[in-house]
Amino acid sequence: MAKSPMVTALADKSSGVANHKQLAVYTQITSDDMKPSTHFVTNAECQDATVEGIAIVILTEFGKRGVQPEKIMSLGSDGASVMTRKKKGCFIVS
């Protein structure tokens, strides 16, 4: 991930056992010859399921893998409003 010139974050929030919020995170990266590939990153517990909490989980998990926030070029999601709102979607948070 860290070697890719840009990455896409793919995320989907769900509720697990005992209603614990989980965030499944994947990434799509490009190789040196610009071929895309998709990889599982984590299935993290998400204590705060707000836009800020989700962004923190994604940025933290990518940071653990050497990916700087400015390399994240896009976000893929299931279209849930917390991820895609016009003025306060997940990656408009700074």
CA distances from 1 to 21, 40, 52, 69 (A): 25, 11, 23, 12
Residues of the chain where predicted confidence (pLDDT) is lower than 70: 16-17, 81-94
Percent composition of the chain: helix, strand, coil (DSSP 3-state, to 5): 30, 35, 35
Domain ranges of the chain: 7-80
pLDDT at 81: 65
What pLDDT score does 94 carry? 41
The pLDDT of residue 31: 82
pLDDT of residue 74: 85
pLDDT score for 90: 56
Residue 92: predicted pLDDT = 45
Task: Output Rg (C-alpha) for the chain, integer angstroms.
Answer: 13
Distance of alpha carbon 49 from alpha carbon 3, whole angstroms:
30
